[in-house]
Structure 1
């Protein structure tokens, strides 16, 4: 049975928002309360959860699209999800981590490895303004450690990352300042 998911009321005075991330694609299995979209309005960033379990059949919105309350977001096949659950039991295995090379690599290579190892779609704490700036600059927020409250990524964190990237591309890597031992 195909069910349609429509954009719920986003709150008082908010009639629509821009799609900043689509977390699912056709064929994906989703559970109730899984994040399916991330919307960005002038005031806030909102995660839209799935209302029911099922298999995504069609996604009707795209990143960057302006959508309004009541608009069709996607279609989900609820019956197919029920059939799959009854046919095969779910076995969760512990993920195996790939072996890391023990040879020391240049910093540029290490950063490339880290950027390649990171998968998109994870939860990152950043304001909508910082997310927009990172998207415009092509920066993956998952590789930046936030210095704000609760690890939130700030504009200063983005600027520091950009400065580090520029220094690395110029061949000048800033040396960390040595700590002074005041205990003596």
Structure 2
């Protein structure tokens, strides 16, 4: 009997998704929870696990096809016994390799939420795990190991093949501790950085202007959604942008000190971290800016005051601009904020940011300075009240203690929705951010 797997709504109300890559082909065996394809929605790239066991019968759409939510994308033959999937160690099927489990829901990969569990689950580490004659655990073929994007990046950096890592959790998801445990017996055996992959990138192809006059690139997925959102924001919210240039020499010194601090070892410490903390302090002193405008169904508009900060970080990716946010950033300590920023950036670079991570933002930071740009007039992320642009930090002549000296200087730009943020409030927030970056000890005195 064949079972069909339909394109799910992997976001909130999304109507379609593009199939980026198939991880299986007809004839392959699949198990409950195994990732079978990667799709791109209007918000993010998402991996789809299949919710039942069987053998792939047919892939209904090729890679690159945009499919409506609800359409069948793959059919799987679940009738009869499953054919052998070329196990690493040939052995008769053991009853204890799979065990009965109560019907329910189980966690799956980031971006897909949860899937209905079948009456069987994958073998767990321990007595239920098939063991070869030499005492090592059997690695089941055709099963993509489950791990969150930061864990995949950690494994890649440490040279660990996730297929060889035995998860310690019953749900089968590999953790950071599992990866570290896999390399602990022989830390010198795997290089920390895959240098050949980055040391000499292939030269970009040179296009002859005589041979190719134009190239047309379809606007879809994340780019299409971003374009529509920016148009809606620009023509809905009245934007006001204010600028301030500030001496951040003390902040740059603090960044170097924090990098050497043992409590911050292994964390992502850079100027953006302190800019984020400075903005959170400014919002705490001026909480009215964390708000949104609601037109209301009855035509009576309301300002919705947010007593929390979901801090968005604009990230440029190959698929377009995305703005994931750090939930409840206002409640995080500096090390916690650094950890959240590091995970957010790593996930965005891998293209695995989930739709949920890009929803519910209140205020955003866009770091245009990394491109050598001095400043800009950023457009609000839809539904948010303000966005802070951080320009390039440069050594410039500056009047310091009555004398012209070389100092590290940057320009900040704050755009805000003038329907709910007036000039006084916007100016106070921007001035507070600048004051903290000029004298970062205010992170303590103003907190």
TM-score by length of 1: 0.50
Q: Report 1 or 2 for greater relative contact order, CA contacts < 8 Å, sequence distance ≥ 6.
A: 1
Between structure 1 and structure 2, the one with the greater Rg is: 2
